[in-house]
A = this chain, B = another copy of it.
Amino acid sequence: MTYHILDAAGLRDWLVQQPELSERLGGKADDWSIREVSDGNLNTVFLVTGPTGALCCKQALPHVRVAPNWPMPLERALYESRYMQTMAPAVPGLMPEFLAYDADLFLIVMECLTAHEVLRSALIADRALPGFSAVIGTYVARTVQATGWVNQPFETGARLLEQFSGNTALTRITVDLILTDPYRVCDRNPEPEAGLREDVKALQNDQTLHLAVGRLQERFLTARQALLHGDLHTGSIMLDGSDVRVIDGEFATMGPVGFDCGLYLGNLALHLCAVPHKAAFLRDEMLAFWQNFSTELRSSLSKEGGDQWALSGPATRQDLIETFLNGILRDTAGFCGLEMVRRTVGFAQVADYGVCSTEKDRLLARQKALQIGRTLVVQGASLRSFADILSLMGL
């Protein structure tokens, strides 16, 4: 079947041809209800419900969904399906179950999370139960264990480099929107609100900041430590009570572990800027993230198995692990700062600022995010503990 954009009827016809998926839905094709719930920037998403089960079907569009003039290669669906299949054994219960991929239609079928809500929405509505960040810390640690060089023969990482380095269309978005555009004059940047114009101009003329951004560009492009999710913000996480799932791995690429950590924490910090009275709650979440992440990672890295650090005895290994974690901490601070800046002034901003009750509050929240973001980017490389990051956030 050649590629075409599916509507509900087309999807129904396709599902009929898939015995395992049809069986999971149960009943006959006419019994299935199909609802489009497209919400992100890039794809169409359908939820299909049958008498005995439900499916989530995600199809790549040949352009940005919200900007039809911006073409976007379909192959991103291939990389998302590879990401899900690569990570599934490592993070059971922490992402939707992967069910099928159609290479012609660039269509992924996965478990339907009907009871779940996007974390960002839950945070904005003040409905997120404490504890979700601990799960995300575990998630990131386990992805590093499964795809990094310490716990696997080097051939694993080499194969992942081979399989994911072609994901350039989406990595180009990261390179432009996160690592470059917010710091230069660029058509993609939206016109800032009047009160923020001077701040935006300052970002474009700040040599100290540009130097630090340059170092983070270098880290992102050269430090191929593990397979990243690549877009781990609060909109890429769904939860239902304490059941937490990571979705949307289409930005997957080998890169520095601190990139995933930094994007996640950056989105919590953005929420903090918009809703400062939740400081204690968000501080606990950030701490729990880092606590779980570093504890799980220390534990897995202390096991032998990979080519990296193959010679080390227990004492040597401890030393190598702490140096590695310190490097991740510094990268985390830097990428956290970049995420805060770009989500405040760049192409894809966050809904969290909508919580601010007045225009003035919103402006202050954005300025706060830019100030914290800049500080994290500039000072990130000299930080020594997670408490330093919290302190720069005023926590």
Interface, chain A (partner B; CB < 8 A): 149, 154-155, 157-159, 161-162, 165-168, 171-172, 175, 179-180, 183-184, 207, 210-211, 213-215, 217-218, 221-225, 254, 307-313, 315-317, 319-320, 323-324
Contacts and interface: CB of A to CB of B under 8 A. Distances in A.
Contact of A217 (B159, B183, B222, B309): B309
A211 B312 contact: yes
Looking at chain A's contact residues, is the secondary structure mostly helix, strand, loop, or mixed?
Answer: helix
Given A180-B307, A218-B308, 7 more contacts: A154-B171, A161-B254, A180-B311, A210-B316, A211-B312, A214-B311, A223-B224
Given A175-B307, A222-B223, A214 B312 contact: yes
Contacts of A172: 154-155
Minimum-distance CB pairs A-B, first 10: A161-B165, A162-B165, A210-B311, A214-B309, A149-B221, A211-B316, A158-B165, A224-B224, A217-B308, A155-B168
A205 to B, nearest CB: 10
A218 B155 contact: no
Nearest to A317: B214
Nearest to A210: B311
A218 B168 CA distance: 25
Contacts of A215: 320, 323
Contact of A221 (B154, B207, B222, B324): B154
11 contacts: A154-B171, A158-B168, A159-B165, A159-B166, A162-B165, A162-B166, A214-B316, A214-B320, A215-B320, A217-B310, A223-B223
Contacts of A223: 222-224
Contact of A320 (B162, B211, B311): B211
Nearest to A315: B207
This chain: copies in complex: 2
Contacts of A313: 207, 210
Nearest to A212: B316
A338 to B, nearest CB: 12
Contacts of A308: 214, 217-218, 221-222
A214 B301 CA distance: 13
Contacts of A158: 165-168, 171
A191 to B, nearest CB: 21
A211 B319 contact: yes
A60 B280 CA distance: 64
A315 B208 CA distance: 10
Contacts of A183: 311
Contacts of A221: 149, 154, 157, 307-308
Contacts of A162: 161-162, 165-166
A165 B149 CA distance: 14
A254 B154 CA distance: 14
A290 B181 CA distance: 36
Contacts of A184: 311
Contacts of A207: 313, 315-316
Contacts of A218: 149, 308-309, 320, 324
A249 to B, nearest CB: 17
Contacts of A315: 207
Contacts of A166: 158-159, 162
Contacts of A316: 207, 210-211, 214
Nearest to A176: B307
A159 B222 CA distance: 13
A264 B56 CA distance: 55
A207 B313 CA distance: 8
Contacts of A159: 165-166, 168
A274 to B, nearest CB: 27
Contacts of A222: 149, 223-225, 308
